[in-house]
Structure 1
Amino acid sequence: MRGLGRLVGGSVWLARLAVLLGFGVALPFVVAPLEAEQQAWVAVGGLLVFTIGSLVPGRGTLVFLSLLSGTISMRYIYWRVTDTLDYAEFWATFLGTGLLLAEIYAVVALLLSYLQSLWPLDRRPAPMPEDPAEWPSVDVFIPTYNEPLDVVKPTIFAAMAMDWPRDRMNVVVLDDGRREEFRAFCEEIGCGYMVRPDNKGAKAGNINHALSRTEGEFVLVLDCDHVATRAFLQMTVGWLLRDPGLAMVQTPHHFYSPDPFERNLASGTRVPNEGLLFYGLIQQGNDLWNAAFFCGSCAVIRRTALEQVGGVPTETVTEDCHCSLKMQRLGWRTAYLRLPLAAGLATDRLIAHIGQRMRWARGMVQIFRIDNPLLGPGLSVTQRLCYVASMWHFLFPLPRFIFLTSPLAYLLFGQNIIAASPLAIVAYAAPHVVHAVLTNSKLQARVRHSFWSEIYETVLALYLLPVVLTTLLDPKRGKFNVTDKGGTLEEGYFDLRATGPNFALATVLVLGLLSGIYGMAANPPESLEFQAFALNTLWVVLSLLTVLAGLAVGRERRQVRERARVGAIMPVGVVLPDGRLVPGETLDLSLGGAAVAAPRPDGLADNVCVTLEIDLGPERVSIPAEALRWQDTRLQVRFAPQNLRDEGNVTRVVLGRADAWVDWDDVREDRPLRSLGEVVRSIGGLFRGNSQFSLRARRARREALARSARAQAARGAP
């Protein structure tokens, strides 16, 4: 441990020294005055330096490219502040100052993201003592409120199946819904069940109530849909035993069901999951600076640390992050293990996704206001910056709205909000944008593809904007809301409730685009007016593409499967009714059934009952099933559990395997141009297939309705 600390500490101090020296050298470049043509040549030179530098592999190259990007962005901001604020009218001053503040926000966010991304700590599991008698006691809390039992059952089954001594593991369902069916189920399977007199403090209060009535040395918190793998505790508790000053080990939140972006967009499965940037990179970067924070679930916490801060805080609706901040102010350390040891259900509707992000935004802004990491005792400079970076991110709605709408100031109202020539704007702004995109593409290659952050933010911005502003003014407003998950959708539809504001924004952007086209046609190409119209028209096209991609997420696709399928290839034996065993392997699994590659025996009747035998480590489990289809070498079965033991075995096979999620981050590397193509492809999904905006689909629906009406008329005729 001390050796690791010396190694990491040395690397950290080298990185700090490199950053300081780099910016010291870069300062003359940042403030050097240049004409637009000279700056254009500097931009070309900077791109050449990036191209050559990016050919050299290694972490040092990423540090250099980040310093280069940061320097160019600082030069842009310096130019904006010193050369572009010469306004003659009130509205130009007002709108131009707003744009400048949004740009300063974006550059600060960019630099903070580099701090979190440059040197991720690749922490490995620490070994447990060889003698299980030395393992500590653990309380496993599963808080729930209004979720259906079918959603919570797999979490309970998997928690009770974790590889840990039974006399030192206490699994407790914390039911704020006080439901008799939950009590009966827990009693039947031997799981703890706890209620409290009231629901004060929501989830945080629920956990605190359970803390006062349990005694385990450590606490594992699992959201009621987060199904743990059998190895969860063995992979995490080792660090807490090795380091007595460690308060918490957090693991990723992985989701085995698709979120609205993955399910609704034509390119949704071709790009990394929205959460992979945070859990696949940012938390590792936080861990380097001892700033990894609690995310509400999938974390093991030392009871002593939790009790020292008075339990989970209830002042904010993101009680998890606030909890780790309080612990770290007292000197406790935290850790992040980039190993998915549980999987849950993603939000399956866009409107639910927006509601969840509204709570996150409100909570992080609440912390920023009432317990700002930049103030108060107990944190290092880098810890403060890492915490602030996560809160700073959720201030994005207003800057994002400004970026999307700024070209309309000129195109619709004739207001020039950057007091500079179009050539100068391109010469200074283009390097800033291009280097930010290319550098992030290098840093985030496998966790976030280019241009998708802008789309994610655009989907949320207009909904989060009033939440962020009101919370900044009054941080005590708002309450904890439970996110709905699970369900089916018989017919697809376009969710205007979730996309209405962006639909209106897209309409205004189209008007701006038409104005820009007219302005270019009405002015000679060599005139400044033509150049200004051209520049703002290009800007509004980029804004419109981003908004259209956000609208495409609102095309809710038909979803008839009640259970999400996961890919899993492993040996399986299919036991036939006559006792014969047909060897095969699984292709995919769900809590409802499986697809199996196995040759169909001769003379076998359809829809027979079979038994699947699957090896789980040293144990072989048997799951009753019904063969729905068996064509050639592909068998489709529906699980038919006969008792609770069978239900538990289904959960263990599908979601509880130790290696269930090892491929969670298996995505191709980013290429900006290809990523831009994926954005365009997703926009095209608005107008293809059975989309409500597809002319072909609308014609087919009209014809189907006409045929149905004719058929009804024919049946009613004498």
Structure 2
Amino acid sequence: MNMLHFQWRQARQTMTRVQATLHLMGLYSEVLLFRSDFTRDRAHAQAISASGSEPQETSKSLRYWFPQVDFSRLKPLDPLRIFIQLMWLVFVKSPDEEPATNRRIFKETSNVFRRAHRSGTSLVNHKVAPFLTQKATSVIHAFGEVSHYNWLNTPLIRVGLTMLAAFLVALTITLPMDAASQAVMLLFFWGVALWVRDVQKRGAMLLMVVLSVLVSTRYLYWRVTQTINWDIPLDTLLSLILLSAEIYAWSILILGYIQTIWPLERKVARLPDNPREWPTVDIYIPSYNEPLNVVKPAVLAALAMDWPQDKLRVYLLDDGRRPEFALFAQENGVNYMVRPDNSHAKAGNLNHALKKTSGDYIAIFDCDHIPARSFLQLTMGWFMEEPKLALVQTPHHFFSPDPFEKNLSMFRNKPNEGELFYGLIQDGNDMWNASFFCGSCAVLKRGPLEEVGGIAVETVTEDAHTALKMHRLGYTSAYLNIPQAAGLATESLSAHIGQRMRWARGMAQIFRLDNPLRGKGLNLGQRICYANAMLYFLNGLPRLIFMLAPLAFLLLHAYIVFAPAIMIAMYALPHIIHAYLTNSRTQGRFRHSFWAEMYETVLSWYILKPTTVALFFPKHGKFNVTAKGGITERTYFDWDVSRPYVILVLLSLLGFGFGVWRLLTGPSDEYLTVVLNLVWVTYNLIILGGAVAVAEEAKQVRSSHRIRVERRISIMTSSEHVFQADLIDYSDTGAGLRVPESCPLETGDVVRILLADGLEQHAFKAQIVNRRDQSIGVLFQFEGIENEQAFLRSTFSRADAWVGWRSMEEQERPMKSFREVIAIGLRGYKRMAKQFAPYMLPLFTLLERLGNFLRSLMPQLPEYKEENDG
């Protein structure tokens, strides 16, 4: 029944596309007429536009549909741009992608299209639509009558249908085909995927996953059975190495689909109405070498949580044994705790506190994570609902940019590296009861935690290992995808890599010491989720193999895929295209296409050694603390970190040169094979360029990070005059404001900033340190610790402080993401040239201009501009 409704909706979309085509045919004639009008008499056209007559509406509609063309000043190639955009609008862009936008479009352009599409619309509405409606209704009724027969639900029928489906899948995977037949299958599957890609229904996504699994498995079967040359030892060895990497990538792809196929999207559970029934909670904030100015906001925010004060105890666990921390804790009523030694690092610190405290539940925050005041009220309700619940995890959110965001200037514009895990994967884990502890921003139940012996100390990823132990005992976990704490991201690429190396080593250790695929207590879904999380960190070697693979042919003339080039393309292209389309559909809001390639390439060399060592010697390695709260006084290129990428770039350039030489001198029957390998190595060079670009550390002189907001506030002057203003950013020490032009404030003035905290309003003393037009910057002068705590509750600790941090509604477009990655790759080579060969910089400037020119020819999404309204 659902499938028939789905097909009916697609039929209606097709009719809408027919209507849109008729619209755009009319628009094209208007383009030609309007172009000649501008060419003949521009001044007359401007007069017509000012008069408000029909050509003005035409002008507005043209500017909407063709945002890359200035119709008042046409250029020689603008007719080509118009034609490309028109073909894209008719045959590629679905008019159902943005319903609200399209309603506005068709309303605005109705005067232009009325005569052109009247006959076509009449045909669709009065002939085609009633016919399809009648047929679809009859089929639905027939299906409904058949579904009444109970024999369809018998076990025997279900087994038979399952076997039939398995047979069809096996046939699709193993059926041998020539290049033409394979191309037909490619086009059919690709067309279906594109057809359902923008349908926001679970069934459409499942269909895309099925298609991706089919074509990827078919490719792998073909690779295993028909592409290995067993006659030449070197070819055989290199081919098996590449095949092993492809089997790994296929396994991660399939496990990832299973893990994220149905995110749970858990909601908040209600607490008992009487706060006296709420349990006692101990808050642990472990610290080792972080400065007090980093730890202080987290402690003060924890003290200010909305929870009965007699049921809340905050513990500062100081493994650094610093006198200033002890004094700060004593002055603010915080329980200060140290231990005799630092054994087992963070895990040992938490276990020491576990033995000295008695709360029913333990909330754990890294010392740079500032919890929202509502954290406990949003998370604790699930413990009341599920008696076997041992853990509630919330996202790790960062208000400072990580090295990728900082060095590539993409903070809050693109999903960061961790957004996929906390935005989608943990939600998918939750569906399988496999969401695991991430070390911070979580609440654990004391009983189950003590039952597994406390925080795990056998591995350096003590958090995930602890959750695995609790799951083995039958306890459940929950993931609440609402950011309720925010902290500092790693501040340099070297620190970021060091942190990921620890994660990779720890996951490999767990895989060896407590393999989730073996042992008791886990269901199948939990085994898959844990195994995928651990196997993912073994991607260092496969990633390097994919980087070096095309060089095997270009430099050594080794056929690592022993098959005609056309067959390689016909089998590999469906695998690659469907994987990207499906991941774009499932992950697009949390990670854009091709960005994962760059993230993994940056880490691949560095996680290779610790994961390999951990697989053979799982007890080696130690916990390393990630430095937070530092500054970068100048922009510099990190040669130590980038050295592996530079070596790979030089090898790839060498292979590219040999490939060009083979094209010029090699046998003609190898031309297509050479071209395929040149395309492969070119793609690798783009990704490696991005890795090099990240290695240039951007300057960062502020130790307190500014958080952009748009919030209405008030300012009180020393004369007690109150002005309305906008808070545009803030940190724990200052803020940026936008004030009216008439506001008589100057540098050096002392004012009161009035901020709301729920129903309360607080005043914070501040000095104006600069003013530029309507923008002013202030430095806070807090009057005691209570005043500073009130500021945290009004800013960092607001319940909605991090909700809607970045818009997640945009539809990810793979080709746009690919263009962005190309631009970043060119930026990396430009930075290399600046270091090695400054005389090559004009070449990169020329390439950038060429890229901008080519982008101007590409189709663009219609863009509505208010200034065009006249």
TM-score (norm 2): 0.76
Work out the CA distance in 2 between the residues paired with 1:688 and 1:425: 33
1:422-501 to 2 correspondences below 5 Å: 422-501=565-644
Map of 1:91 onto structure 2: 234
SS at match of 1:435: helix
More moved, 38-47 vs 490-499: 38-47
Q: CA deviation at 1:567?
A: 1.9
Q: Which of 232, 238, 263 in structure 1 is aligned with 2:406?
A: 263
- Contact conserved, 2:689 with 2:827, CA < 8 A, in 1? no
| CA RMSD of superposed structures (Å) | 2.2
Q: Which of 286, 291, 305 in structure 1 is aligned with 2:434?
A: 291
Q: CA deviation at 1:631?
A: 3.6
Q: CA deviation at 1:600?
A: 5.0
- Contact conserved, 1:623 with 1:649, CA < 8 A, in 2? no
Work out the CA distance in 2 between the residues paired with 1:365 and 1:644: 45
- Contact conserved, 1:364 with 1:394, CA < 8 A, in 2? yes
1:638 aligns with 2:773: no
- Unpaired segments of 5 or more residues in structure 1? 1-14, 700-718
1:670 aligns with 2:812: yes
- Contact conserved, 2:235 with 2:560, CA < 8 A, in 1? yes
Work out the CA distance in 2 between the residues paired with 1:47 and 1:552: 34
Q: CA deviation at 1:466?
A: 1.0
Map of 1:563 onto structure 2: 704
Q: Which of 311, 325, 335 in structure 1 is aligned with 2:468?
A: 325
1:555-589 alpha-carbon deviations (Å, 9 max, x no partner): 11111222111122223221112221112221111
1:602-623 alpha-carbon deviations (Å, 9 max, x no partner): 6544311111110110121221
Q: Which of 660, 663, 666 in structure 2 is aligned with 1:523?
A: 666
1:459-499 alpha-carbon deviations (Å, 9 max, x no partner): 00011111111111111110111001122212101111111
Work out the CA distance in 2 between the residues paired with 1:483 and 1:403: 30
Map of 1:8 onto structure 2: none
Map of 1:608 onto structure 2: 749
Change over 3 Å in CA distance of 1:660–1:417 after alignment to 2:
same
1:617 aligns with 2:758: yes
Q: CA deviation at 1:57?
A: 3.0
Map of 1:31 onto structure 2: 174
Work out the CA distance in 2 between the residues paired with 1:559 and 1:371: 42
Q: CA deviation at 1:41?
A: 2.3
Larger radius of gyration: 2
Change over 3 Å in CA distance of 1:324–1:289 after alignment to 2:
same
Change over 3 Å in CA distance of 1:686–1:86 after alignment to 2:
closer
Map of 1:595 onto structure 2: 736
Q: How many aligned positions are there? A: 684
1:270-349 to 2 correspondences below 5 Å: 270-349=413-492
Work out the CA distance in 1 between the residues paired with 2:840 and 2:630: 25
Change over 3 Å in CA distance of 1:586–1:472 after alignment to 2:
same
Normalized per residue, the structure richer in helix is: 2
Map of 1:4 onto structure 2: none
Q: CA deviation at 1:359?
A: 0.2
SS at match of 1:234: helix
Work out the CA distance in 1 between the residues paired with 2:749 and 2:161: 68
Work out the CA distance in 2 between the residues paired with 1:476 and 1:26: 43
SS at match of 1:142: strand
Work out the CA distance in 1 between the residues paired with 2:190 and 2:438: 39
Work out the CA distance in 2 between the residues paired with 1:556 and 1:377: 47
Change over 3 Å in CA distance of 1:20–1:629 after alignment to 2:
farther
Change over 3 Å in CA distance of 1:234–1:18 after alignment to 2:
farther
SS at match of 2:415: coil
1:66 aligns with 2:209: yes
1:281-340 alpha-carbon deviations (Å, 9 max, x no partner): 000000001000000000101000101100011000001000010001000000000000
Work out the CA distance in 2 between the residues paired with 1:503 and 1:26: 44
More moved, 687-696 vs 331-340: 687-696
1:444-465 alpha-carbon deviations (Å, 9 max, x no partner): 1200100111110000001111
1:249-260 to 2 correspondences below 5 Å: 249-260=392-403
Q: CA deviation at 1:36?
A: 2.8
1:576-591 to 2 correspondences below 5 Å: 576-591=717-732
More moved, 214-223 vs 612-621: 612-621
- Contact conserved, 1:494 with 1:692, CA < 8 A, in 2? no
The percentage of aligned residue pairs carrying the same residue is: 45
Q: CA deviation at 1:698?
A: 8.9
Change over 3 Å in CA distance of 1:28–1:296 after alignment to 2:
same
Map of 1:706 onto structure 2: none
Q: Which of 681, 685, 688 in structure 1 is aligned with 2:823?
A: 681
Change over 3 Å in CA distance of 1:621–1:554 after alignment to 2:
same
Work out the CA distance in 2 between the residues paired with 1:540 and 1:499: 19
Map of 1:146 onto structure 2: 289
1:630-663 alpha-carbon deviations (Å, 9 max, x no partner): 3443222112223322332333233111110001
Change over 3 Å in CA distance of 1:38–1:697 after alignment to 2:
closer
1:167-224 alpha-carbon deviations (Å, 9 max, x no partner): 1001001111111110000001111110011111111111111010101000000011
- Contact conserved, 1:174 with 1:193, CA < 8 A, in 2? yes
SS at match of 1:212: helix
More moved, 572-581 vs 396-405: 572-581
Work out the CA distance in 2 between the residues paired with 1:16 and 1:506: 53
- Unpaired segments of 5 or more residues in structure 2? 1-157, 843-870
1:161 aligns with 2:331: no
1:39-61 alpha-carbon deviations (Å, 9 max, x no partner): 22221222122122325330011
Map of 1:709 onto structure 2: none
TM-score (norm 1): 0.92
- Contact conserved, 2:686 with 2:826, CA < 8 A, in 1? no
